[in-house]
């Protein structure tokens, strides 16, 4: 089962001891969840007006692009747009500070990804099976290949009504890979470069990205696996924050509304133990290089 390791940090600027840093990096790289049960993200005056699913329009979330600073939110007026952009920008800065204190080894290599605000209730939202995050999965992005980089995500539950954010946590990454890998088709030669040339992907889709997308889809499509796989349920209360490598940890968001999420990418070489990365696990099982 996936371990959840708690740290008593209650301030985004709080310094961590060497022992806490060691515990944190060990937990994450071995496929655990790092939980800060007392670390909430306070809202500023007027920001409570943003706590409405209408903010997202027809989408499940609002996203802030790290390169352009563009906020994609179809359900807001000009004043709300400015307020929401300020809220999400503060969250970016807070998460970078937190990671700098908790995981200083990663700081030089961290690459900022999208910031998301999820105001829509997870349970009962109509969607296709492929986009259904209530099904156990590991993350892989169809249009944004990681080329082996890790996907590190920071989540905070800001629900004002006391509602938990309920997750299922599943099998280890190697357990998932061993179950599905032999049945996955390999990539078509030249397909990755074509997708990049055609503008379908932002960068070249490597063999690694191909297999991660296949794993993501096969896990979600397999109803028997969803019910029979080793799994546990954990509830993240409002005012708590958690960090997880979502490319490694089998997870499913079952219930909850109003959460902030920050994505970072980390080169495998920045890890303390690169052999634990999904890239290295898949390469070992397939006996081939996957990220070239």
Task: For 175-222, give the secondary structure using H, E and C.
Answer: HHHHHHHHHCCCCCCCHHHHHHHCCCCCCCCCHHHHHHHHHHHHHHHC
Contacts of 76 (CB under 8 A, 6+ apart): 55, 84
Q: Give Rg (Cα) of the chain.
A: 19
Distances (CA, A) of 18 to 5, 37, 44, 103, 105: 16, 20, 32, 10, 11
Per the structure block, which two tokens stand in for 119?
């105001």
Compute the average pLDDT of residues 108-121: 94
Question: Mean pLDDT, to the nearest integer, of 142-171?
Answer: 96
Do residues 232 and 2 touch, judged by C-beta distance below 8 A?
yes
- pLDDT (tens digit, 9 = 90+) per residue, 201-258? 999 999 999 999 999 999 999 999 999 999 999 999 999 999 999 999 999 999 999 9
Give the strand order in the sheet containing 259-266.
4-6, 33-36, 241-245, 150-157, 259-266, 111-118, 62-64, 71-72
**pLDDT at residue number 20:** 95
Calculate the alpha carbon distances from 111 to 93, 108, 239, 270 in Å: 13, 9, 26, 11
Q: What is the pLDDT of residues 161-203, one digit of tens each?
A: 999 999 999 999 999 999 999 999 999 999 989 888 999 999 9
Average pLDDT, integer, range 85-97: 94
User: Please, which residues have CB within 8 angstroms of residue 232's CB and are 6 or more apart in sequence?
Assistant: 1, 2, 168, 169
Tell me the sheet residues that pair with 153: 244, 263
Considering only residues 127 and 170, tell me which one the structure prediction assigns the higher pLDDT.
Answer: 170
- Two tokens at 77? 């007026």
Sketch out the chain's domains with CATH numbers: 4-134+148-167+238-286 (2.60.120)
Alpha helices in 55-137 (DSSP H): 78-102
SS3 assignment, position 94: helix
- H/E stretch holding 144: none
Token code pair at residue 183: 């049945």
The whole-chain average pLDDT of the chain stands at 93
| pLDDT, mean of residues 111-138 | 92
Parallel/antiparallel/unpaired status of strands 4-6 and 33-36: parallel
Per-range mean pLDDT, top range of 27-31, 44-48, 127-131: 27-31
What is the pLDDT at residue 73? 66
75 — pLDDT class (breaks 50, 70, 90): low
* Mean pLDDT (whole number) for 267-290: 97
Q: What is the DSSP letter of 286?
A: H
The pLDDT score that the predictor gives to residue 105 is 96
Does residue 65 contact residue 114 with C-beta atoms inside 8 Å? yes
pLDDT of residue 1: 73
């Amino acid at each position: 089962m996936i371990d959840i390791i708690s740290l008593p940090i209650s301030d985004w600027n709080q310094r961590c001891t060497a022992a806490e840093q060691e515990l944190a990096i060990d937990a994450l790289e071995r496929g655990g969840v790092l939980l800060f049960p007392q670390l909430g993200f306070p809202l500023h005056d007027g920001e409570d007006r943003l706590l409405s699913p209408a903010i997202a329009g027809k989408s499940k979330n609002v996203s802030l692009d790290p390169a352009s600073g563009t906020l994609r939110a179809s359900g807001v007026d000009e004043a709300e747009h400015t307020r929401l952009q300020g809220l999400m920008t503060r969250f970016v800065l807070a998460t970078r500070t937190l990671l700098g204190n908790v995981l200083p080894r990663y700081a030089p290599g961290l690459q900022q990804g999208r910031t998301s605000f999820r105001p829509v209730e997870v349970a009962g939202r109509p969607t296709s099976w492929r986009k259904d995050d209530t099904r156990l999965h590991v993350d892989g992005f169809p249009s944004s290949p990681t080329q082996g980089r890790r996907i590190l995500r920071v989540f905070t539950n800001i629900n004002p009504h006391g509602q938990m954010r309920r997750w299922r946590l599943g099998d280890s990454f190697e357990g998932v890979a061993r179950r599905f890998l032999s049945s996955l088709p390999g990539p078509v030669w030249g397909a990755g470069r074509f997708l990049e040339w055609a503008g379908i992907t932002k960068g070249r889709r490597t063999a690694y990205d191909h297999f991660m997308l296949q794993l993501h889809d096969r896990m979600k499509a397999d109803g028997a696996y969803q019910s029979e796989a080793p799994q546990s349920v954990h509830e993240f209360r409002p005012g708590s924050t958690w960090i997880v490598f979502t490319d490694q940890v089998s997870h499913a968001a079952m219930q909850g509304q109003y959460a902030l999420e920050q994505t970072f990418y980390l080169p495998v070489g920045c890890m303390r133990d690169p052999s634990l990365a999904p890239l290295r696990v898949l390469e070992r099982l397939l006996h081939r290089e996957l990220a070239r």
